[in-house]
Amino acid sequence: MSPRHPYVGLPDRQMWSADPGLADPALFDPVSDVPFRIGREDRVVTMGSCFAQHVGRHLAVAGLNHHIAEPAHPVFDADLARRFNYGVFSARYGNIYTARQLLQLLRRAYGLFAPRVEAWPRDATGDGRVVDPFRPRIQPEGFVSAAELAADREVHLAAVRAAVESMDVLVFTLGLTEAWEDARDGAIVPLAPGVAGGVWNPDEVRFCNFDEVETWADLREALTLIRARNPKVRIVLTVSPVPLNATYEPRHVAVSTAWSKAVLRLAAEKAARAFDACCYFPSYEIITAPHARGRYFAADGREVLEAGVEHVMRLFLRHVCGVEGDAVPAPPAAPNAAQAHLAEMERLVAVLCDEQSITNR
């Protein structure tokens, strides 16, 4: 006898009212079947927005291999290395917010694109120090000279090539659709000139907001380029749950956030369907779904609290890495412990987040 309608017998995970996360947010688990596993010896390369920085940290804590292709010099101690943004991602590229930025980084690394802009003045003092337009906050106090920046960039792009060609797994977090483009050659920078170095000139730099067609095309080309250099790499795509800090569109930042995340989510889904050994991991949904009742965001409504990060990574380690139990960081038990834990995490994750530099003052 046929069921009375096609939804009869579907798994509970496909029915909103059957999800145990409605009663207990800690039980919310929207992860579907993952087509592969990350082993302890697999070299995992991380790229993307600010939120992606948590992935590498938790992988290391769990004893997995967050692959660092651009390590600090041995004379750097741990604190100094972190201050100079070594080990935050697998290479010292800083935040890669858009699919276009990822694509251009790969093209620059392989000599397929040489942007006209090479260095920005650090500030208006005229002291000669410069910043990298493509990594404007990577170096505390900037570089002493354009020559020093050029030498560092050469090392950096070699590390990008090494990361691409040696990785077993890529975890890339899409963060934004808004960007700034050099009007002369289309080079994308993560921040408008004047925010963290450079000089604002509207005749040279223009605002762009990549739609779903452009974002998917850029992501597809970037992943195709990566697979051409490393055919066996497995790919995990995520979307950052962090709202936009600012929008240049003439509308409320919350509306721009919804539009941007929808575009990124669509591009990630299309990539997961188009590429073999490529999946989407729902970190965005874990943090933003009604199940969490908003408890994973700080008072500013934007910063993701460590409890939320731990929920995401607990499920990532379980489903993608097969890691359970003591290797999975547990949330703190008591309020005082929670405050101390959060303060320590804030210290450890006082990371590069370029977008926070944007203000209207």
16-70 pLDDT per residue, tens: 999 999 999 999 999 988 999 999 999 999 999 878 888 888 999 999 999 999 9
pLDDT band at 360 (very low <50, low <70, confident <90, very high): low
Lowest mean pLDDT among 88-102, 284-298, 343-357: 343-357
Retrieve residue 345's tokens.
């995490």
Statement: residue 331 has pLDDT above 90: no
Structure tokens at 203: 């005749």
Q: Are 311 and 58 in contact (CB under 8 A)?
A: no
Question: By C-alpha distance, which of 284, 63, 86, 277 is closest to 170?
Answer: 277
Q: What percent of the chain has pLDDT over 90?
A: 78
16 domain residue, yes or no = no
- Closest by CA to 209, choosing from 179, 250, 240, is 179
- Which string of DSSP letters, residue by residue, matches 203-265? TTEEEEE--HHHHHHHHHHHHHHHHHH-TT-EEEEEE--PPPS---SSS-HHHHHHHHHHHHH
Grade residue 346 by pLDDT with cuts at 50, 70 and 90: very low
Position 50 in a domain: yes
Render pLDDT for 103-156 as a digit per residue (tens, 0 to 9).
Answer: 999 999 999 999 999 999 998 788 889 999 999 999 999 999 999 999 999 999
Across 300-314, average pLDDT: 94
Instruction: Say if residue 176's pLDDT is above 80.
Output: yes
What is the pLDDT at residue 1? Answer: 66
> In this predicted structure, what is the pLDDT of residue 330?
45
201-246 pLDDT, tens digit each = 999 999 999 999 999 999 999 999 999 999 999 999 999 999 999 9
Asked if residue 59 lies in contact with residue 65, where contact means CB atoms within 8 angstroms, the answer is yes
Q: How many domains does the chain have?
A: 1
Assign 358 a pLDDT band (cuts: 50, 70, 90): low
The stretch 267-278 carries a mean pLDDT of: 98
Q: Looking at the domain assignment, is residue 266 inside a domain?
A: yes
Residue for token digits 């609290």? 305
pLDDT score at 78: 87
* pLDDT score at 359: 67
pLDDT at 3 over 70: yes
- pTM comes to 0.89
CATH of the domain at 89: 3.40.50.1110
Mean pLDDT score across all residues of the chain = 90
Q: Is the pLDDT of residue 253 over 80?
A: yes
Q: Which domain holds residue 242?
A: 37-114+157-189+208-357
Name the DSSP class of 154. H
Q: Is residue 27 in a domain? A: no
Q: Tell me if 341 is assigned to some domain.
A: yes
Statement: residue 91 has pLDDT above 50? yes
